[in-house]
Amino acid sequence: MDSTKPQGSINGQEERDLLFARLFGIMAVIQSGLVVRTTPLASSASSSNLPSSLESYEQLLTSLVGLGEQKTWLRESAWFAISLLVNVLHESDVLWKEEAVTSTMELLFVKNVVWSTEKVALALKLQDLYPKREWKTFLAPTFKNSDLLSTGNLPTIARILKVCGCLVRSG
């Protein structure tokens, strides 16, 4: 990750290239399953051979949220990667899975109070994967009901979609 941090003065194209390199690298780690490996890798001089950890998972999640906040044109891709990360975690058998789910919910819904279409989509996914969570605490005060798609929440969702320019008008 350090090799994708800008050093010195760079132009706009170089900055975009570094941001995309960071996103590509994180997605490669997620899709390879390295983020949730339960056994050590074969010994390698270039990387750690330890199993994955809650700390490394949280670092990737925090980096993705940061990428999405850094540039609006990168938000959709960053949150898509967060969705992949949630899927990989859900399907894994890591010992720290429950703590990672809690950490994910805290970061996405308590520490990050801004709502976007991407966040709504991820909230729907997480509600489906973890219906027994205390959703009222994660969705309040933005949403009235713990069921994101309840009738009382639809005006708020419509506002989020409209602000993001995603609301399609009929007629």
Residue the block writes with tokens 């798609």: 149
C-alpha dist (Å) from residue 20 to 24, 27, 117, 133, 152? 6, 10, 21, 33, 38
Parent domain of 44: 2-136
Q: Which positions of the chain have pLDDT values less than 50? A: 167-171
pLDDT value of position 72: 87
Are the beta carbons of 96 and 107 closer than 8 angstroms? no
Residue at 150 is within a domain: no
pLDDT value of position 165: 60
pLDDT value of position 46: 52
Residue at 25 is within a domain: yes
Residue at 91 is within a domain: yes
Residue at 158 is within a domain: no
Residue at 161 is within a domain: no
pTM: 0.85
Closest by CA position to 87, among listed 146, 33, 132: 33
Between CA 167 and CA 131 the distance in angstroms is: 27
Indicate the number of domains in the chain: 1
Residue at 169 is within a domain: no
Residue at 121 is within a domain: yes
Residue at 60 is within a domain: yes
Are the beta carbons of 152 and 144 closer than 8 angstroms? yes
